[in-house]
Amino acid sequence: MRHLLLAFCLACLAPFAAAGGVTPTELRVGSLQDLSGPIAALGVHFRNGTQMRFDEENAKGGVHGRQLKLLVEDTGYDPKRAVLAAEKLLGGTGVFAVLHNLGSPVVMATMPRFLEAGVLHLFPGAPLKEVYEPVHPLKFGMSPSYTQSVPPGARHLIEKNGFKRVGILYQDDDMGREVLRGIDALLGELGLKWCEQTSYKRGATDFAAQIARLRAADCDFVVLGTVVRETVGAYTEARRAGWQVPMLVTASGYTAQVPQLGGAAMDGLYAVALVPQPDPDGANRALADWIRRYQEKFKTEPNTWDVYTWVGADLFVRALHAAGPQPTPQKVAAALERLEVARDFFGSQPIALSADNHLALRQVRVAQIRNGRWENVTDYLPIAR
Amino acid sequence: MRRALLSAAILALLVAPAVLSPWGLAQLTFVAIYVVAGAGLMLLAGYAGQLSLCHAAFLGIGAYAEALLQAQGWPLAASLPAATLLAALAGGAAAWPARRLAGIYLAIATLSFGFIVQEVLVRWESVTGGNGGLVVAPLDPWAAYGLAWALALAALWLLGRLLASRLGRAFAAVREDATAAQAIGVAVPALKVVAFAAAAALAGLAGALYAHQLRFVSPEQFDWVMSIELLMMLVIGGLGTRAGIVLGALFLIALPQALGLLRDLAGWAVPPAGVELFAFGLALVLTLRYAPDGLSGLAGRLRSL
């Protein structure tokens, strides 16, 4: 009984407690990144893009007089270390929100901890439905699952070119199988049958057997459920063998690294794209200036993941402004739900969050490598349900 | 001297929850979990001299069993022993074909077993949730801390009792010379199966605690890297001593935190790639070169200076 009474008193007090991570001069935001593990190449850009947006805001005097402080913890893609890092962020003065936590196992192990502590869980780098559905007042997602994002691109190419014999090469893990599931549903809708399915183990470097199999089945269109290196390996293998079949890769393959690694042989590859490449060629003034500032700050070239996280940080900053001088996670969440953002200077898709939509990117675009550069083939298409 | 040290350590563990932040408490809980798993592996690798490259698989079996049983509504008092037993059975099963193997053949056999378990966890989607993993209910952080350390100390105590027994001497005989042990009447293959089952049981128990601590299990967590990590932990701590298990576990958990601190001090916005693996490797090489009996041996020698 005494416990119940105590719990009741605490529950009554909770709304009046100051939000964690906020002082009159500072607002602390956490981020769990992989800076030393298997996807550190991604983690570095996740951090840079976020930091870039925060620095821009801080240079203008911060939000309602508060400087935005980004606290990055390295998880090495290890959920055990992620759990410890989450406890570290939640301890002491705490954090107001976490932004762009990277890696599915990291996010799955830590998300409940942040939500229970009343911390906003924003735009993680994990293509999982769980990060935005079922709708929870404090969680918002950035990118749709592969099951949703690849089919619209495939549908566009199949319908436009009249492809009938669709094959797939996919990585034999959750990522690859999500692509498989999505395309499987799409073929059902289009009344088509699989021409061939073949897979590879993560880390494979030789795709001769898989490509030969797809070719023997006489596929006229191949979907690649691959990331970066395997995309290059599979595509160049087909071209080397003299097979000019059109191929479409996931948003993970939509990076400048792919034409860089594969060279001229990569020309013609299609990809679905969630956010644009920051390409200095043909950039508008604002983008050219952004790229120059990025290079000066981080001594490296920006890529699509910097844009991805810059856009996420931008949404957060806009919501913070809208939430007023005394922000609480609830106020900021409510502000996020009212946000409508038109295309920015990157050419990002328009974003409209609402009370029943906590997913930011709901459209994809088809892009193609032409003369070693990604070029847009379509405008934004809605994702699959 | 040893008694005083032990009492001091236990006293520190009792006081810790009162002074530590949730972050510190979570770290110490992880140390305890690794001590439980390490005690099993020490029995197998340190005392019976058998190499296991699939210990992460036993942890995984314990973790998944705990996740599934808890989801069925089993109480902790029933699910923990069940997870332990299941892992023990898996250990026995893994050892059965390997019971006449030694050296590199045993290493490969156990490595393969690890791959098989991971593959089953991925493929058996209707039960394990495949690569998507399973969500596990958390324990109260203080309860988890108390339970993990109680089990860790019990495991260490049991390990000590076992070594002093006839079975312990038989293990040592197998480690020193399997042929000679066989000649004096030790049933070597059967003994190997027992050692594997016992080691797997403790790993399974550790895995069950690990599942609660992480609140989420997925196949990729229990890969061969974790098996190697556990072996490195024992070598750095000191193969063959119980203090070595605790020191090794402390090292394993503290190293990433220490490197994080170093990162802040050095002002690296981004640490050089692979700095952690490098530090682990360096620690291992230095240990093998300058302190082949590990941190516990080093401590002993410093004391006798």
State how far the Cα of A223 lies from the Cα of A88, in Å rounded to an integer: 42
* A6: pLDDT strictly greater than 50: no
Write down the mean pLDDT value for chain A.
89
Percentage of chain A exceeding pLDDT 70: 95
Are domains A19-143+285-354 and A146-273+365-382 of this chain identical in fold? Answer: yes
CATH number of A146-273+365-382: 3.40.50.2300
Asked if residue B79 belongs to a domain, the reply is yes
Q: Which pLDDT does position A2 carry in this prediction?
A: 44
Collapsing DSSP to helix, strand or coil, A148 comes out as helix
With beta carbons under 8 A apart, name residues in chain B contacting A36.
271, 273-277
Q: Which of A36, A44, A90 sits opposite B276 (nearest CB)?
A: A36
Query: Nearest C-alpha of chain A: how many angstroms from B20?
Result: 11
pLDDT in tens, B171-229: 888 888 888 888 888 888 888 899 999 999 999 999 999 999 998 898 888 988 889 88
* A249: pLDDT strictly greater than 70: yes
pLDDT in tens, A265-313: 999 999 999 999 898 887 899 999 999 999 999 988 999 999 999 999 9
With beta carbons under 8 A apart, name residues in chain B contacting A80.
30, 210, 214, 221
Query: What does each C-alpha distance from B106 to B98, B100, B173 come to in angstroms?
Result: 6, 9, 18
Nearest to A275 by CA among A307, A243, A253: A307
Residue A41: closest C-alpha in chain B: B273
With beta carbons under 8 A apart, name residues in chain A contacting B210.
80
With beta carbons under 8 A apart, name residues in chain B contacting A134.
none
Q: In this structure, are residues A223 and A166 in contact, taking their beta carbons and an 8 Å threshold?
A: yes
* B15: pLDDT strictly greater than 50: yes
Q: Which pLDDT does position B272 carry in this prediction?
A: 60
The label of the residue with tokens 């516990």 reads: B296
The label of the residue with tokens 């590859």 reads: A269
What do you get for the CA distance between the two ends of chain A, in Å? 48
* B301: pLDDT strictly greater than 80: no
**Segment B11-37 mean pLDDT:** 87
Query: What does each C-alpha distance from B194 to B27, B40, B108, B140, B188 come to in angstroms?
Result: 32, 12, 20, 34, 10
**Segment A225-242 mean pLDDT:** 92
pLDDT in tens, B119-133: 999 888 888 888 778
Q: Which of A35, A79, A84 sits opposite B216 (nearest CB)?
A: A79
DSSP string covering B242-286, please?
HHHHHHHHHHHHHHHHHHHHHHHHHT-SSPPTTHHHHHHHHHHHH
State how far the Cα of A110 lies from the Cα of A102, in Å rounded to an integer: 11
Give chain A's radius of gyration (CA, Å): 22
Collapsing DSSP to helix, strand or coil, B136 comes out as coil
Query: Nearest C-alpha of chain A: how many angstroms from B271?
Result: 7
Between residues B303 and A335, the one the model is more confident about: A335
Greatest mean pLDDT among A96-100, A369-373, B166-170: A96-100
pLDDT in tens, A342-363: 888 888 899 999 999 999 999 9
Q: Which pLDDT does position B273 carry in this prediction?
A: 58
Collapsing DSSP to helix, strand or coil, A249 comes out as strand
Asked if residue B31 belongs to a domain, the reply is yes
With beta carbons under 8 A apart, name residues in chain B contacting A297.
none
Q: Which pLDDT does position A15 carry in this prediction?
A: 37
Rounded to whole angstroms, the maximal C-alpha distance in chain A is: 78
Nearest to A349 by CA among A252, A274, A249, A251: A274
CA triplet B171, B172, B178: central angle to 5 degrees?
Answer: 80
DSSP state of A198: E
If interface means Cβ-Cβ distance under 8 Å, which residues of chain A face chain B? 35-36, 40, 44, 47, 73-74, 76, 79-81, 83-84, 87-88, 90-92, 104-105, 108-109, 112-113, 173-174, 177
* Cβ–Cβ below 8 Å for A40 and B273: yes
Could you tell me the two tokens for B157? 């105590």
Collapsing DSSP to helix, strand or coil, A28 comes out as strand
Residue B272: closest C-alpha in chain A: A36
Nearest to B61 by CA among B191, B193, B195, B211: B211
Chain length of chain B: 305
State how far the Cα of A121 lies from the Cα of A131, in Å rounded to an integer: 8
Report ipTM (2 d.p.): 0.77
Asked if residue B207 belongs to a domain, the reply is yes
Q: Which pLDDT does position A190 carry in this prediction?
A: 94
Asked if residue B285 belongs to a domain, the reply is no
Collapsing DSSP to helix, strand or coil, A101 comes out as coil
Could you tell me the two tokens for B220? 């990729």
pLDDT in tens, B55-110: 999 999 999 999 999 999 999 999 999 999 999 999 999 888 878 887 888 888 89
Superfamily of domain A19-143+285-354 in CATH is Response regulator (3.40.50.2300)
Quickly state the pLDDT bin for B7 (edges 50, 70, 90). Answer: confident
Contacts of residue A40, defined as CB under 8 A and 6 or more positions apart, other chains included, come to: A34, B273
Contacts of residue B261, defined as CB under 8 A and 6 or more positions apart, other chains included, come to: none
Nearest to A153 by CA among A297, A269, A4: A269
Number of domains in chain B: 1
What residue spans define the domains of chain A? Answer: 19-143+285-354, 146-273+365-382
State how far the Cα of B123 lies from the Cα of A354, in Å rounded to an integer: 37
Q: Which domain holds residue B45?
A: 24-222
Give chain B's radius of gyration (CA, Å): 19
Question: Worst-scoring range by mean pLDDT, A43-47, A146-150, B97-101?
Answer: B97-101
Helix axes B22-41, B55-71, angle to 10 degrees: 120
* A11: pLDDT strictly greater than 50: no
Nearest to A167 by CA among A256, A46, A69, A248: A248
Residue B212: closest C-alpha in chain A: A109
Query: What does each C-alpha distance from A30 to A94, A108, A227, B28, B40 come to in angstroms?
Result: 9, 16, 27, 23, 37
Buried b (16+ CB within 10 A) or exposed e, A148-171: bbbbbbbbbbbeeeebebbbbbbb
Asked if residue B174 belongs to a domain, the reply is yes
**Segment A50-58 mean pLDDT:** 95
Question: Worst-scoring range by mean pLDDT, A39-43, B62-66, B232-236?
Answer: A39-43
Compute how many other C-beta atoms are within 10 angstroms of the C-beta atom of residue A374.
21
Q: Which pLDDT does position A4 carry in this prediction?
A: 43
pLDDT in tens, B248-292: 899 888 887 777 777 777 766 555 656 777 877 888 888 888 888
Nearest to A158 by CA among A194, A122, A190: A190
With beta carbons under 8 A apart, name residues in chain B contacting A76.
256, 276
